[in-house]
Each structure stands twice: as structure tokens, then as C-alpha cells.
């Protein structure tokens, strides 16, 4: 998992409440058994005017010119600005996968659905909660100033605006530790590899029959 320390990026404002996970990555793309390749189908039903299917070449599709991510001024955006209850709906982990693989490193919103919120941290995506009034002002600024960028400092837990104003945000200490270190669940387990190996050696020394296999 990619570490998150300090990130500066272009902001894309998605002015919709209650964006659910089926909108983030529609159900037909969940058939893949891989963990990669979901970025091209992020917000698929909104990004394209024609229906999409797994494996279809995005270049053959008809993009929706009115959708925010298709507008030239937001090309390359890595910070998504959203409204309340982002990520509601089914608990598909594909949603943060798709956002991350599209290129987003962080989301800023007043609130999130709990499962999406926790899944995001486990996949290297930082969901930041800010008050409604602060989010509304960020929407105004992002819409008013082309090329609007923010800097996010996770260690200090601040969003830094272009003129230097800092917006403080809260993050649970363990989630912050994992993001700063780039540690997902597997990475956390591997930090204990020496202790796991030592335990297995001791277990087999005292109970050698556990190493035996039986043919059927």
C-alpha cells in the first residue's frame, strides 16, 4: 500500500450528496477476480453516455462532457471534494480501489458511510471529514479558481489552502499510523514475521506431529 504523508493536488468538486458505491463502481465491473483495473470505470454511468461492460476499451466509449471529471480543468485531479454521506450503499471494497486507481489520494467531505470510510484507510485512500461550512467554502473556491489545489499534511492533520490557511481534521491514531507507514492488513502482519516464524518453530519442536500430513 502506498504511503500517505504530504500530498498536494488538484481538486475536483463533485457536487452530489449520498453518492453510493454502485455509482462509484457499478455492479457489472465487480466480476473481476483481480484487485486492479477499476480506475477506467470509476463513476462509469456518469462519465459515459453509453453503457459500459467489463473489458470494453474506454477509448471506444462516449464521454459525458457535463460530468466533472471529464472537464479539462479537472484533468489529473487527485483530491475529490464531495458532499455528505459519500460512499453509502453496499459494502464493496472495489469503490476505494476504483478511486485510488483513477488517481485520487484523498477525499474531503462532511460525512461518509462507515464501511466505505474504513475500507478507504485500508487501501491507502485518505477520507477527510470537515464541517459543512468549510466544505462549502472549498466548493466555492474550487469552482471559482481553475487549477485550484490543496495540500494535505497527514502528520500534522491539516488541509492547507493556497494562501496558507490551515483546516484541522481528525483521524484515528491507528489509521494514521497505517497510512503514514503504507501498511495494509497484510503489511501489518508481515511486521511480525520474525515472531510468527519463531512461534511456528517452537510449536513444531514441542508438537512435531502437527507437521505430519496424511494421505487420503
Residue 38's domain is classified under what CATH number?
A: 3.20.19.10
Residue 95 lies in a domain: yes
Q: How far is CA 214 from CA 201, 205, 209, in A?
A: 21, 19, 11
Confirm whether 138 is domain-assigned: yes
pLDDT of residue 41: 96
Residue 205 lies in a domain: no
Structural contact between residues 135 and 161, judged by C-beta atoms closer than 8 angstroms: no
Count of domains observed in the chain: 1
Exposure string for 121-130, b = 16+ CB within 10 A, e = fewer: bbbbbbbbeb
pLDDT score recorded for residue 192:
64
Predicted confidence band at 189 (pLDDT cuts at 50, 70, 90)? low
Q: Please, which residues bridge with residue 108 across strands? A: 81, 128
Please write the tens of the pLDDT for every residue from 12-69: 999 999 999 999 999 999 987 788 999 999 999 999 999 988 889 988 999 999 999 9
Q: CB of 101 within 8 A of CB of 37?
A: yes
Report whether pLDDT(216) > 60: no
Domain extent for 79: 6-183
Whether residue 200 lies inside any domain: the answer is no
Residue 205 burial by CB count (10 A; 0-12/13-18/19+): exposed, middle or buried? exposed
Q: Is 208 part of any domain?
A: no
Residue 155, domain member (yes or no): yes
The answer to the question of residue 207 being in a domain is: no
CB neighbours of 173 closer than 8 A, spacing ≥ 6?
Answer: none
In a domain, 197, yes or no: no
Amino acid at each position: 500500500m502506498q504511503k500517505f504523508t504530504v500530498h498536494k493536488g488538484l481538486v475536483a468538486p463533485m457536487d452530489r450528496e449520498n453518492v453510493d458505491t454502485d455509482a462509484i463502481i457499478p455492479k457489472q465491473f465487480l466480476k473481476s477476480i483481480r484487485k486492479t483495473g477499476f480506475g477506467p470505470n470509476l463513476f462509469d454511468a456518469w462519465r459515459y453516455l453509453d453503457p459500459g461492460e467489463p473489458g470494453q476499451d474506454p477509448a471506444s466509449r462516449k464521454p459525458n462532457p457535463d460530468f466533472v471529471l471529464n472537464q479539462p480543468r479537472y484533468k489529473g485531479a487527485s483530491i475529490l471534494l464531495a458532499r455528505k454521506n459519500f460512499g453509502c450503499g453496499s459494502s464493496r471494497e472495489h469503490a476505494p480501489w476504483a478511486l485510488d486507481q483513477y488517481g485520487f489520494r484523498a477525499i474531503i467531505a462532511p460525512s461518509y458511510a462507515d464501511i466505505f470510510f474504513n475500507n478507504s484507510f485500508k487501501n491507502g485512500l485518505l477520507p477527510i471529514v470537515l464541517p459543512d461550512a468549510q466544505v462549502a467554502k472549498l466548493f466555492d473556491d474550487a469552482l471559482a479558481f481553475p487549477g485550484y489545489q490543496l495540500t494535505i499534511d497527514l502528520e500534522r492533520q491539516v488541509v492547507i489552502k493556497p494562501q496558507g490557511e490551515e483546516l484541522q481534521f481528525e483521524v484515528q491514531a491507528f489509521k494514521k499510523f497505517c497510512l503514514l507507514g503504507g501498511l495494509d492488513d497484510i503489511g501489518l502482519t508481515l511486521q511480525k514475521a520474525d515472531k510468527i516464524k519463531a512461534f511456528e518453530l517452537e510449536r513444531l519442536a514441542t508438537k512435531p506431529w502437527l507437521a505430519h500430513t496424511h494421505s487420503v
